[in-house]
Amino acid sequence: MNNSIIFLAAISLFVSACASVKNTSEKNKPRVPGLKNAEVKTIWIPDKIEGNRFEEGHYIHLIDKQTTWSAE
């Protein structure tokens, strides 16, 4: 009985110590600004037949403007 109480006390002390270490490391992290979404252009490419080859219509997506840092 006495050993189980000591074991439980040691485990709870270990768990609480780990939790406090995690909280202090999160506070020391530098603030990183967010990112704005990139601007994407979507283009429809229609069906195409060339000789004995058929290419089904499909979309292509082009990055029109890269992502940038958000000021907020």
Residue 22 has pLDDT above 60, yes or no: no
Structure-block tokens of residue 70:
């958000």
Pairing of strands 48-50, 53-55: antiparallel
Residue 18 or 16, more confident: 16
CA–CA distance, 21 with 18 (Å, rounded to integer): 5
Query: Which pLDDT score, from 0 to 100, does residue 48 have?
Result: 97
Closest of 26, 61, 29 to residue 45, by C-alpha: 61
The model's pTM: 0.47
Residue 20 has pLDDT above 60, yes or no: no
Query: Which pLDDT score, from 0 to 100, does residue 50 have?
Result: 96
For the segment 33-71, what is each residue's pLDDT rounded down to a tens digit?
899 999 999 999 999 999 999 999 999 999 999 999 988
Check: CB of residue 38 under 8 Å from CB of residue 70. no
Check: CB of residue 38 under 8 Å from CB of residue 66. yes
